[in-house]
């Protein structure tokens, strides 16, 4: 029975092994009793425990045995082969100790022998028993019942362990190329016997075999990866170097075919990192070096011919081909510092579809490159912008400001990019803006300026019919080429049901009467998929000791993360508009400080929700208030814009605590103070105006307007009743950038909770023709002059655009425009701010500090730049390239 | 009719004619003998007086008598038969085509033509100018009121029409303006061109007639009804198209303040008042006065008839210009015209019964101006100027009669700023009321559902909503600031408007935020919570 049971257990085993095992069991069942019985016999019976020997049993011979099958190895019982000196094999359960059982037993035997000294009596008997035991190898035969036998060690020639069977099987599988099964076996083996001798070798062999297989199957890159892995474990593994070379060479050649030298270099360097001076590396690097040298020679020839753009291009190509070549440095430096290209990583290019009628960040960047304003903001002091100018040496008021004389600069630096102007040109420009028949007519400017007199080629004077509070903001855009068309955009619900809803016309650069006179800067020279190139219109002449940025190439990336990676890899040198969480990550990265600057812009960017003044629905103040009070601005800022979970959690907790315990509670106060400190350190803050929080225009008398769902709901009900019981859906235009889109989703959900339906308009579609609300980002430098066009959603301050507003607001804006005294103007502006806030003419969301991240080789960037290309014409780039492939 | 006297600076022999019709008309009145003479007469000394010029007697005997004894001032003809004394100084542009002979022929022809057309209505003196009298086209255009007054204030002529004749591109060009002595007003330039020299006098005469403005005296006024007498109205012109006035025509009234010597001390126009001719029968005209001063009450007369030292007259007005620009200017702040003000042009004043829905809505520009295009005929329109909800003013005018008009209004900024604050307070009031309602409903729902904590929280929130007292404090602040500002400007109208504005809002607030009603609703809430077993405790 017992034998039958044992046989049944081994039913899965191949017949030969099962038969052998069964036969062994049959034979051994006739064998002497188990050890325990033998021990008992040793105590009470004087029969020789060694009476039963393998010689008395018929056992299979080693040469007759077949190795265990894969199935047996994977799922069967582990069995060892104890090979006797006679060549016969005892198949048993795994013996112990293992591996190297015999040696370990021998060692134990010798150690035991040493223990004999001093033992007497029972101890000696005990010692004797143990000592004798060590002469034998105890084996367990698979049962049931398990039967233990012992074999004199001297009779055992070797033990083929179960593990060794597995390793042999692995070897066989590898030889067959059966990587999966070999790997499976290996994985199991590693799990169970991680330290078995021979395992590392099998692992390595598996890697090599797998690599070889993958290479033969056309996956050289994965083969190379495996080679690298094997190299880490055993650089000297036979065949590795050759295989790595083959894989790398295939990859390099493929990259060459694809004209991707960076990729080719990358694989070549990987090979070199594994095996320095590998023959493949030596051969190919020589060819690359030769190619790079040839390109550099061509670059030098182009330089001699005066074709600096080509020279720079060839030099950049040369260092891409083989940067480790030291000889390339001088040529690269000469060519790229002569014709400097600044590569900038962006996530949107100008001209790409957008739903809003305003300039997005991309358009603003383009405008700043192309336009040169007569006055530019230099800095903010006390919230007041201070201006600088590239055109004027001085401007002096006379007659209590009623007349002003302007003196143009007569010298010009070769790197200056603004158009050269003399007084007559500037006079023409101004006059065209004062002429009602001209397309450049500026109503506001014409209300200020009475006459323009050109007194000399470099002097002109203006007389004012109305003295402005400050001259610079009024004149700053005089030299900027502006669109000839106002911003148009009809609301979804127009004043009358029959009103034509015209197509949304984004502000666009159009040729105006003075456009030719004002050509300069860095206009767009090419715009293709994935990049836009701006080039300095007035190139610097030859022979200068130093040159400056000539081209700006904006490179498009899918996301800010990709752009950030491109910066680290050296593909681009500057990132102008980064989300805050990446900025914080960069600031926390100490290693980044070595190669990059992170500079804060002097003014934050304000995010607002702009209302279309022509929207009939939003003519109801209650609806505007409801929209405002339905959204939790702080939550959106911390959660979506800054992505600061700590701040968000604290803010939420404070709200909850305050509601539960009241504002005077000690914990509430402590948390409030802590949160206040953290808010101050953060890069974003809630604002109550479309201008920066430090601006002089902010009124200190604003009544707080917090997130209040009850109020929002109440107001929604009120306005619904006023509108006849039905609130029409509102349309919202949102820029395509990620943050506004995410914010918009949350806004829509918040508004829906209080019963206000808002839908997003698709960019560049027929639906984009109408909008009621638009998400807008801006930097309002000078609220005194910028507030009016902001409210009317136009680029100029025209009286006719005010007709949508109540009379008090119209007169307030007109009075502000007319005020000559700065302090009074500020008072009026603050009053207007208070009134606009109470009237909810827009919803200010937050302002976010922006940072410019750029490589240290970019020189000349102002300490606190106003925008990403602030004073670009005086930046210069030091030659640099990544010597190592990424 | 006193004999004509030439211009004191005349250097050439004048051409005189005496009209047959004048003799006939004067004979009908009896006692006045007309003498027609072609003799030259000595010029009379210049005088600023508006008295009819004294004429030297033709009879030498009379002269010597005059030298011996002071002559009595000649009696003026009655207004209705008193012809206009008209001088037409003609200035020819230096052009070889305009020879001396052609010029003389032109002058004579023009005089003849006008005499033919107008008959006795005009006593005409047409002469070619020279020396400092010349008035070429450029100078004619530059001529302004004060320069014209300086030039012709002592002229004996009632009307002076400096006529400029030039040639360009083969065409004869005529330009003229009217100087009216009585009103001391210079009319706008009227011009004409003529290609055929044979039609020159006709064209010139047409342009002179076009520049002519009839002069009337205001005889009697009763409410808005005015009776007028046309100067030389009884002297009907031979050309019926030269009739001075017709129904529908407009007249611009003015007063002539005289001193004890009957000299003109001051000429005062009647602002924003027009007389619209209802009927005209020879010299008698009936008209209606349309004035901003009678807009509210017909009992207030817009014009007054002549008094002892005041002559009450009116001058005809026509559509001279393509448009009229009205500039709205605050009286106390003329440097800051009212920009972006809402202006509505209507054909009649709106009333409760007739709100006049067809209006032309306009906005003043940055200089406070609106431009109203002229219409085909003289019509009266009203310009209503608004500031916020209040009307700043309403004035009648004839589009095209004047090139520009200035409308003085009160400085409405104090009231407007109060209107702004009140508007914002209204919004706050709406929000307060809505919040109270929503919180009340939510509290009721919580009480019914037995949600004690929610009820307590909502009740607390409800009690924290600002009450009437808080709201009134804010309103009082706004009212006080506005009233003080208005008083500072001594603007009682603004002050009363501000009080009314704030008062209206205060009433609404008192109605909707009534504390007693609110307290009662709170009690009801708490009671309902107890009934529902909410257990909410009174605070």
- CA dist., res. A342 & res. A330, Å (int): 19
**Confidence band for B295, pLDDT divided at 50, 70 and 90:** low
Query: How is residue A377 written in tokens?
Result: 């903001």
- Please indicate whether, in this complex, the C-beta atoms of A800 and B439 are within 8 angstroms of each other: no
Residues from chain A contacting residue B363 (CB–CB below 8 Å): 799-800, 802-803
The residue among A83, A80, A84 whose CA lies nearest residue A93 is: A80
Average pLDDT over residues B140-157: 91
* Cβ–Cβ under 8 Å, residues A566 and A555: yes
A800 Cα to chain B: minimum distance (Å): 7
- Please indicate whether, in this complex, the C-beta atoms of A807 and B424 are within 8 angstroms of each other: no
Lowest mean pLDDT among A35-49, A462-476, A582-596, A650-664: A35-49
The yes-or-no verdict on residue A19 having pLDDT over 60 is: no
The yes-or-no verdict on residue A371 having pLDDT over 90 is: no
- CA dist., res. B485 & res. B491, Å (int): 9
Average pLDDT over residues B478-495: 87
Q: Over the stretch A729-781, which tens digit does the pLDDT of each residue have?
A: 999 999 988 899 999 999 999 999 999 999 998 876 655 568 999 999 999 99
Average pLDDT over residues A654-683: 85
Q: Over the stretch B70-94, which tens digit does the pLDDT of each residue have?
A: 555 567 888 899 999 999 999 998 8
What confidence score (pLDDT) does residue B491 get?
83
- Please indicate whether, in this complex, the C-beta atoms of B431 and A806 are within 8 angstroms of each other: no
Residues from chain A contacting residue B413 (CB–CB below 8 Å): 811, 815
Sign of CA pseudo-dihedral B531, B532, B534, B538: negative
Residues from chain A contacting residue B427 (CB–CB below 8 Å): 621-622, 625, 838-839
Average pLDDT over residues B496-510: 91
A540 Cα to chain B: minimum distance (Å): 45
B304 Cα to chain A: minimum distance (Å): 39
- Please indicate whether, in this complex, the C-beta atoms of A818 and B416 are within 8 angstroms of each other: no
* Cβ–Cβ under 8 Å, residues A884 and A427: no
What confidence score (pLDDT) does residue B73 get?
55
User: Under CATH, which architecture does the B215-317 domain have?
Assistant: Beta Barrel (2.40)
Residues from chain B contacting residue A835 (CB–CB below 8 Å): 420-421, 424
The residues, any chain, with a CB within 8 Å of residue A139's CB and separated by 6 or more, are A80, A82, A90, A92, A93, A95, A148, A149, A150, A151
Burial of B467 (0-12, 13-18, 19+ CB in 10 A): middle
**Confidence band for B497, pLDDT divided at 50, 70 and 90:** confident
Lowest mean pLDDT among A8-12, A157-161, A542-546: A8-12
Using CB atoms, which residue from A625, A718, A808 is nearest to B423? A808
Average pLDDT over residues A432-443: 91
The yes-or-no verdict on residue B383 having pLDDT over 60 is: yes
ipTM above 0.85, yes or no: no
CA distances from B291 to A298, B245, B300, B385 (A): 91, 20, 10, 16
Nearest CA in chain B to A814: B339
- Please indicate whether, in this complex, the C-beta atoms of A443 and B434 are within 8 angstroms of each other: no
Q: Over the stretch B391-420, which tens digit does the pLDDT of each residue have?
A: 899 999 999 999 999 999 988 888 888 889
The yes-or-no verdict on residue A483 having pLDDT over 90 is: no
Give A 770-799 residues with CB within 8 A of chain B: 799
Cβ-Cβ contacts under 8 Å between A and B: the total is 89
Taking the Cβ of residue A62 and every Cβ of chain B, the question of whether any pair is shorter than 8 Å is answered with: no
Task: Please state, rounded to an integer, the average pLDDT across all residues of chain A.
Answer: 85
The yes-or-no verdict on residue A56 having pLDDT over 80 is: no
What confidence score (pLDDT) does residue A629 get?
94
**Structure letter (DSSP) for residue B74:** P
Which of A446, A707, A810, A840 to mutate to probe the B interface, most B CBs <10 Å?
A810
Residues from chain B contacting residue A714 (CB–CB below 8 Å): 431, 434-435, 437-439
Domain boundaries, chain B: 20-211, 215-317, 323-409, 415-531
Using DSSP, state whether A296 is helix, strand or coil.
Answer: helix
Lowest mean pLDDT among A182-196, A841-855, B264-278: A182-196
Burial of B331 (0-12, 13-18, 19+ CB in 10 A): exposed
* Cβ–Cβ under 8 Å, residues A679 and A685: yes
> What share of chain A has pLDDT > 70, as a percent?
88
Query: How is residue A35 written in tokens?
Result: 């050890």
Query: Phi-psi region for residue B321, left (φ > 0), alpha (ψ -120 to 50) or beta?
Result: beta
Q: Over the stretch A225-234, which tens digit does the pLDDT of each residue have?
A: 999 999 999 9
Lowest mean pLDDT among B62-76, B257-271, B317-331: B62-76
Give A 606-665 residues with CB within 8 A of chain B: 621-622, 625, 659
- Please indicate whether, in this complex, the C-beta atoms of B434 and A711 are within 8 angstroms of each other: yes
What confidence score (pLDDT) does residue B253 get?
95
Residue B295 or A457, more confident: A457
Give the CATH class of B323-409. mainly beta
A416 Cα to chain B: minimum distance (Å): 38
- Please indicate whether, in this complex, the C-beta atoms of A802 and B461 are within 8 angstroms of each other: no
**Confidence band for B60, pLDDT divided at 50, 70 and 90:** very low
What confidence score (pLDDT) does residue B210 get?
94
B388 Cα to chain A: minimum distance (Å): 5
Residues from chain A contacting residue B341 (CB–CB below 8 Å): 807
Query: Phi-psi region for residue A411, left (φ > 0), alpha (ψ -120 to 50) or beta?
Result: beta
- The most confident of the ranges A211-220, A415-424, A487-496, A650-659 is A211-220
What confidence score (pLDDT) does residue A681 get?
85
* Cβ–Cβ under 8 Å, residues B509 and B471: yes
Average pLDDT over residues A207-225: 93
Taking the Cβ of residue A806 and every Cβ of chain B, the question of whether any pair is shorter than 8 Å is answered with: yes
Residues from chain B contacting residue A814 (CB–CB below 8 Å): 339-340, 366
What confidence score (pLDDT) does residue B361 get?
93
| Helix A220-233 × helix A261-274 angle, to 10° | 30
Using DSSP, state whether B39 is helix, strand or coil.
Answer: coil
The yes-or-no verdict on residue A505 having pLDDT over 60 is: no
Q: Kindly report the backbone phi and psi dihedral angles of residue A492, in degrees, each rounded to the nearest multiple of 5, phi listed first.
A: -65, -40
- CA dist., res. A297 & res. B155, Å (int): 98
- CA dist., res. A55 & res. A76, Å (int): 28
Query: How is residue B319 written in tokens?
Result: 């559509």
What confidence score (pLDDT) does residue A529 get?
84
**Confidence band for B368, pLDDT divided at 50, 70 and 90:** very high
The yes-or-no verdict on residue A692 having pLDDT over 90 is: yes
The yes-or-no verdict on residue A48 having pLDDT over 70 is: no
Other CB atoms within a 10 A radius of the CB of residue A883 amount to: 13
What confidence score (pLDDT) does residue A143 get?
65
Average pLDDT over residues A810-830: 94
The residues, any chain, with a CB within 8 Å of residue B235's CB and separated by 6 or more, are B21, B22, B25, B81, B83, B119, B120, B121
- Please indicate whether, in this complex, the C-beta atoms of A714 and B339 are within 8 angstroms of each other: no
Taking the Cβ of residue A372 and every Cβ of chain B, the question of whether any pair is shorter than 8 Å is answered with: no
Residue A216 or B14, more confident: A216
A754 Cα to chain B: minimum distance (Å): 12
* Cβ–Cβ under 8 Å, residues A582 and A644: no
Other CB atoms within a 10 A radius of the CB of residue B480 amount to: 12
Residue A605 or B308, more confident: A605
Q: Over the stretch B271-294, which tens digit does the pLDDT of each residue have?
A: 999 999 999 998 999 999 999 876
What confidence score (pLDDT) does residue A763 get?
73
What confidence score (pLDDT) does residue A91 get?
87
Taking the Cβ of residue A818 and every Cβ of chain B, the question of whether any pair is shorter than 8 Å is answered with: yes
The residues, any chain, with a CB within 8 Å of residue B38's CB and separated by 6 or more, are B16
Residue A353 or A225, more confident: A225
Average pLDDT over residues A368-385: 90
Average pLDDT over residues A792-812: 91
Which of A797, A811, A821 to mutate to probe the B interface, most B CBs <10 Å?
A811
- The most confident of the ranges A165-169, A498-502, A788-792 is A788-792
Domains of chain A from N-terminus onward: 2-160 (no CATH), 341-349+521-601+850-877 (3.40.190.10), 372-475 (3.90.76.10), 605-644+682-848 (3.10.105.10)
Which of A808, A809, A835 to mutate to probe the B interface, most B CBs <10 Å?
A808
Taking the Cβ of residue A262 and every Cβ of chain B, the question of whether any pair is shorter than 8 Å is answered with: no
Distance of CA A206 to the CA centre of its chain: 36
Residues from chain B contacting residue A806 (CB–CB below 8 Å): 388, 420, 423
């Amino acid at each position: 029975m017992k034998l039958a049971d044992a046989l049944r257990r081994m039913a899965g085993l191949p017949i030969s092994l099962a038969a052998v095992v069964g036969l062994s069991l049959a034979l051994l069942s006739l064998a002497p009793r188990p050890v325990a019985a033998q021990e008992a016999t040793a105590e009470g019976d004087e029969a020789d425990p060694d009476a039963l020997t393998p010689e008395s049993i018929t056992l299979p011979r080693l040469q007759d045995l077949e190795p265990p099958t894969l199935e047996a190895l994977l799922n069967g019982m582990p069995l060892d082969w104890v090979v006797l000196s006679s060549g016969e094999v005892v198949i048993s359960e795994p013996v112990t100790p293992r591996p190297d059982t015999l040696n370990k037993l021998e060692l134990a035997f010798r150690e035991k022998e040493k223990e004999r000294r001093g033992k007497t009596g029972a101890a000696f008997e005990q010692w004797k028993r143990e000592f004798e035991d060590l002469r034998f190898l105890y084996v367990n035969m698979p049962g049931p019942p398990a039967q233990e036998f012992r074999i004199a060690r001297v009779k055992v020639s070797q033990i083929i362990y179960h593990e060794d069977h597995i390793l042999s099987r692995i070897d066989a599988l590898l030889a067959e190329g059966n990587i999966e099964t070999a790997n499976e076996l290996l994985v199991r083996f590693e799990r169970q016997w991680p330290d078995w001798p021979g395992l590392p070798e099998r692992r390595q062999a598996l890697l090599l075999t797998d690599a070889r297989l993958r290479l033969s199957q056309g996956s050289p890159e994965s083969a190379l990866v495996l080679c690298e892995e094997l190299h880490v474990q055993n650089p000297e593994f036979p065949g590795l170097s050759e295989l790595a070379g083959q894989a790398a060479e295939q990859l390099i050649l493929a990259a060459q075919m694809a004209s991707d030298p960076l990729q080719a270099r990358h694989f070549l360097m990987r090979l070199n990192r594994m095996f320095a001076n590998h023959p493949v590396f030596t051969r190919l690097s020589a060819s690359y070096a030769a190619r790079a040298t040839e390109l550099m020679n061509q670059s030098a020839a182009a330089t001699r011919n005066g074709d600096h753009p080509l020279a720079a291009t060839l030099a950049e190509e040369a260092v891409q081909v083989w940067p480790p070549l030291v000889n390339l440095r001088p040529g690269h430096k000469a060519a790229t510092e002569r014709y400097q290209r600044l590569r900038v990583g962006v996530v949107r290019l100008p001209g790409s579809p957008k739903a809003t009628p305003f300039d997005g960040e991309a358009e603003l960047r383009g405008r700043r490159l192309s336009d040169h304003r007569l006055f530019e903001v230099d800095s903010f002091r006390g919230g007041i912008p201070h201006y600088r100018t590239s055109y004027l040496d001085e401007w002096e008021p006379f007659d209590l400001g009623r007349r002003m004389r302007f003196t143009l600069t007569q010298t010009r630096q070769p790197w200056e990019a603004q158009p050269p102007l003399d007084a007559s040109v500037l006079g023409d420009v101004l006059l065209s803006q004062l002429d009602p028949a001209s397309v450049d007519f500026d109503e506001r400017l014409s209300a200020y300026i009475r006459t323009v007199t050109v007194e000399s080629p470099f002097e002109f004077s203006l007389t004012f019919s109305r003295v402005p509070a400050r001259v610079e903001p009024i004149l700053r855009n005089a030299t900027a080429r502006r669109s000839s068309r106002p911003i148009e955009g009809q609301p979804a619900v127009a004043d009358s049901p029959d009103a034509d809803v015209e197509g949304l016309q984004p502000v666009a650069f159009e040729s105006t009467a003075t456009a030719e006179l004002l050509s300069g800067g860095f206009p767009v020279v090419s715009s293709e998929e994935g990049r836009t190139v701006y080039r300095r219109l007035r190139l610097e002449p030859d022979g200068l000791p130093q040159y400056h940025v000539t081209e700006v190439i904006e490179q498009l990336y899918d996301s800010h993360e990709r752009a950030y990676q491109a910066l680290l890899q050296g593909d681009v040198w500057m990132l102008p508009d980064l989300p805050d969480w990446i900025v914080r990550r960069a600031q926390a990265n100490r290693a980044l400080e070595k190669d990059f600057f992170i500079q804060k812009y002097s003014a934050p960017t304000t995010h607002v929700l702009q209302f279309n003044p022509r929207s009939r629905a939003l003519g109801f103040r209650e609806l505007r208030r409801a929209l405002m009070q339905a959204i939790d601005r702080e939550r959106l800022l911390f959660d979506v814009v800054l992505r600061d979970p700590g701040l968000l959690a604290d803010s939420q907790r404070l709200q909850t605590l305050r509601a539960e315990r009241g504002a005077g509670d000690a914990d509430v106060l402590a948390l409030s103070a802590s949160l206040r400190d953290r808010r101050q350190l953060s890069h974003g803050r809630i604002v109550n105006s479309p201008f920066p929080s430090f601006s002089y225009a902010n009124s200190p008398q604003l009544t707080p307007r917090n997130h209040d769902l009850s109020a929002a709901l109440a107001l929604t009900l009120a306005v619904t009743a006023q509108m006849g019981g039905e609130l029409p859906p509102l349309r919202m235009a949102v820029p395509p950038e990620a943050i506004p889109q995410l914010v918009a989703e949350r806004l829509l959900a918040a508004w829906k909770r209080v019963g206000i339906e808002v839908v997003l308009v698709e960019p560049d579609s027929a639906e984009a023709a109408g909008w009621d609300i638009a998400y807008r980002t801006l930097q309002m430098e000078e609220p005194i002059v910028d507030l009016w066009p902001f409210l009317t959603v136009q680029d100029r301050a025209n009286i006719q655009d005010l007709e949508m507003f109540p009379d008090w607001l119209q007169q307030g804006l007109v009075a502000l425009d007319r005020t000559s005294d700065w302090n009074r103007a500020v008072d009026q502006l603050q009053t207007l701010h208070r009134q606009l806030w109470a009237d909810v003419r827009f919803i200010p969301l937050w302002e976010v500090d922006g940072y410019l991240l750029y490589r240290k080789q970019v020189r000349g960037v102002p300490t606190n730049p106003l925008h990403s290309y602030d004073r670009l014409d005086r930046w210069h780039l030091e030659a640099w390239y990544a010597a190592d492939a990424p | 009719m006193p004999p004509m006297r030439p211009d004191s600076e005349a250097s050439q022999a004048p051409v005189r004619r005496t009209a047959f019709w004048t003799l006939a008309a004067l004979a009908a009145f009896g006692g006045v003998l007309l003498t027609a003479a072609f003799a030259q007469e000595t010029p009379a000394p210049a005088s600023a007086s508006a008295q009819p010029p004294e004429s030297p007697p033709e009879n030498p005997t009379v002269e010597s008598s005059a030298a011996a004894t002071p002559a009595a001032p000649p009696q003026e003809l009655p207004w209705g038969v008193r012809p206009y004394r008209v001088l037409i100084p003609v200035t020819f542009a230096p052009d070889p085509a305009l020879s001396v002979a052609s010029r003389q022929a032109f002058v004579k022809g023009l005089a003849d033509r006008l005499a033919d057309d107008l008959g006795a209505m005009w006593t005409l003196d047409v002469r070619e100018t020279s020396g400092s009298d010349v008035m070429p086209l450029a100078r004619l255009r530059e001529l302004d009121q004060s320069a014209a007054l300086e030039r012709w204030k002592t002229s004996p002529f009632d009307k002076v029409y400096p006529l400029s004749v030039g040639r360009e591109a083969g065409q004869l060009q005529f330009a003229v303006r009217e100087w009216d002595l009585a009103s001391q007003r210079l009319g706008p330039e009227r011009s004409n061109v003529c290609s055929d020299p044979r039609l020159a006098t006709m064209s010139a005469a047409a342009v002179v007639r076009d520049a002519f403005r009839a002069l009337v005296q205001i005889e009697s006024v009763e409410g808005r009804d005015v009776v007028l007498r046309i100067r030389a109205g009884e002297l009907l012109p031979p050309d019926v198209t030269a009739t001075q006035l017709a129904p529908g025509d407009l007249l611009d009234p003015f007063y002539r303040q005289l001193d004890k010597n009957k000299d003109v001390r001051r000429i005062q126009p009647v602002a924003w008042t027009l007389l619209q001719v209802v009927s005209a029968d020879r010299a008698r005209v009936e008209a209606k006065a349309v004035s901003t001063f009678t807009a509210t009450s017909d009992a207030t007369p817009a014009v007054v008839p002549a008094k002892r030292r005041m002559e009450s007259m009116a001058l005809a007005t026509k559509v001279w210009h393509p448009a009229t620009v009205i500039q709205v200017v605050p009286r106390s702040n003329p440097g800051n015209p009212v920009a972006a003000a809402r202006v509505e042009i209507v054909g009649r004043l709106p009333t409760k019964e007739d709100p006049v829905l067809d209006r032309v809505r306009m906005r003043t520009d940055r200089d406070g101006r609106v431009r109203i295009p002229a219409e085909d005929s003289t019509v009266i329109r009203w310009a209503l100027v608004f500031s916020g909800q209040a009307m700043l003013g309403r004035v009648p005018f004839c589009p095209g009669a004047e090139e520009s008009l200035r409308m003085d209004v009160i400085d409405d900024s104090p009231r407007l700023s109060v209107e702004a604050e009140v508007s914002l307070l209204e919004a706050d009031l709406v929000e307060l009321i809505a919040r109270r309602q929503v919180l009340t409903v939510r509290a009721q729902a919580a009480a019914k559902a037995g949600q004690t904590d929610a009820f307590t929280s909502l009740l607390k929130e409800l009690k924290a909503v600002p009450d009437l007292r808080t709201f009134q404090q804010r309103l009082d602040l706004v009212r006080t600031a506005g009233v003080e500002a208005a008083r500072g400007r001594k603007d009682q109208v603004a002050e009363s408007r501000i009080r009314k504005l704030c008062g209206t809002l205060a009433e609404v607030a008192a109605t909707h935020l009534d504390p007693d009603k609110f307290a009662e609703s709170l009690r009801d809430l708490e009671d309902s919570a107890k009934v529902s077993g909410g257990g909410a405790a009174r605070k």
